[in-house]
Structure 1
């Protein structure tokens, strides 16, 4: 039987999994997250979900979560949408249960390493991955390696002050909700039909996202910025205003060498979780 790596994406509403075999992701499944249950109940739910994959010869388990993680200990420090999941020694629990190596990190960090190892970020040694959805997350890859920082908090530009709030307020779905009382998907449909208000919404959004990317360029000057998350699908609607915002960046030579790319992976979160696992390289090579 071929060696496989199991990747899990644990979110507030769902737990999604898949196995990587010979560089190909397969058997993607999902179950609801029992977010309001006790810590013990949630742990057992995760364990039973993993158990359902044990027909594969699992070499290791990677997990992405939307919160802070002590990467060295494999401890989940807190999840905003799962109240009982605070200071959970998840890696130790699963290692004792399955006798497999377990690696855990923030989901935005998983996205960054996932697109580097399996997606459009493969040609670049230095990149930043930005997830654009209900919130905004970012992960950093430096010299081909994920940089997580203390408690996996590197790349948390979303919480940096910007205008009257922070970058997440203006660069996520929250922007469309707060200022246009609508969802990005609904506004995108209107914008494609030529609705002036919807077109204005995406023009403003692109300008805000450009300011976020300029902060990233000042800090890291990466070779590529890879956009992921559901809002990336509306990129043609805000591409022009994003690039207009970037055009005022203080160092044009840096701007000339950075590429803005869209992730093409359908299961980026699982790819990223898989990419965390430190096992024999031939298992994860495409």
Structure 2
């Protein structure tokens, strides 16, 4: 029986990461390229074709052994039709039928989804949420991505916006968000918001990596930065826990590198806000797969789509 391989692609605003994996999620080759020029759709398609050839050659795999490709993108996606609904990082891609367009350039099917959904799928199948049928996954970075695993499947909702916890309003009179809402969580716990909080508390600019290091050493001001971020994040997480009762909450993304400086106060705050019957039952953990989660999840998306045909 011919061995099947899948390509997972994690498209970012600056860099795009891709890997060739097998059916069990084992990585055989990986590559990173610049996302510059991706506003030119033909250039993007040719880049994916070139990436596929290079990944296969690096792993000494025949091109016809690749069964499908999954692509994770930083924006809402109609994953059933393969249509990008909107994308802020790459201009001109709104309401673009990416999966259909790529058929002209690649000899295998391509499946498309939101990058937070891909991260959640990877953590659910291979990472920190493995074995949990119900999970909430967050990526904390420039923005706040969110995804829900309900009964072992990604919940996308009828409008493909399920799990967008970053746009849960937590303040009735808060700042306007790019999504069009007011007081969204993202405006309080995105890395720009945390950096601004650090400037206010320290009275000067301090890199978030340094804030994390100082917090772990017991620095009171640094701990205050993460305590304030945890207080905002806990309100939303506790709300999701009370509504859906997930077994595990997985925290990933660059901000999660703060580690215990963030997770410690976050766990305490969630215990304060969550229903008492749920407090000891929901684990809050750091993501296990790091920067690999995006392309692993995209590859798993392709694998599971192929299996469902």
Asked if 1 retains the 8 angstrom alpha-carbon contact of 2:31 and 2:55, the reply is no
8 Å contact kept, 1:105–1:152: no
CA drift of 1:227 comes to 1.1
The answer as to whether partners of 1:131 and 1:227 remain within 8 angstroms in 2 is: yes
Deviations 1:227-280 (A, max 9, x none): 111222212112332122112235211222211122111301111111212234
Q: Answer whether contact 2:267 2:284 (CA < 8 A) is retained.
A: no
Q: CA RMSD in A?
A: 2.0
Equivalence for 1:228: 252
The Cα of 1:30 is off from its aligned counterpart by 0.7
- Secondary structure of the equivalent of 1:120? coil
Query: Cα deviations across residues 22-57 of structure 1 (Å, max 9, x unaligned)?
Result: 521131111001257433333333333234335431
Q: Deviations over 1:2-34 (max 9, x none)?
A: 311110001111111001125211311110012
Hey, what's the Cα distance between the residues in 2 that align with 1:202 and 1:64? 29
Kindly indicate whether the alpha-carbon contact (under 8 Å) linking 2:31 and 2:51 is maintained by their aligned counterparts in 1.
no
Report the equivalent of 1:135: 143
Distance in 2 (CA, whole Å) between partners of 1:169 and 1:248 is 23
In 2, Cα distance between equivalents of 1:44 and 1:97: 7
C-alpha distance in 1, partners of 2:262/2:69?
Answer: 37
TM-score (norm 1): 0.91
Say which of 262, 285, 296 aligns to 1:271.
Answer: 296
Shift of 1:68: 1.1
Contact 1:129 1:228 in 2 (8 A): yes
In the alignment, which residue of structure 1 is the partner of 2:67? 59
Question: Structure 2: any 5+ residue segments left out of the alignment?
Answer: 175-182, 200-205
Paired residues, what number?
281
Decide which structure has greater strand share: 1
Matched, 1:177 2:177: no
SS at match of 1:264: coil
Q: Is the 8 A contact 1:126 1:142 kept in 2?
A: yes
Mapped contact 1:94–1:102 kept (Cα < 8 A): yes
Unpaired runs of 5+ residues, structure 1, are 282-286
Secondary structure (helix, strand or coil) at the match of 1:52 reads helix
Question: What's the CA shift for 1:59?
Answer: 1.0
Contact 1:168 1:174 in 2 (8 A): no
Q: How does 1:40-189 map to 2 (within 5 A)?
A: 40-55=42-57, 56=61, 57-163=65-171, 164=174, 165-181=183-199, 182-189=206-213
Look up the match of 2:21: 20
Q: TM-score, normalised by structure 2?
A: 0.84
Q: Is the 8 A contact 2:235 2:273 kept in 1?
A: no
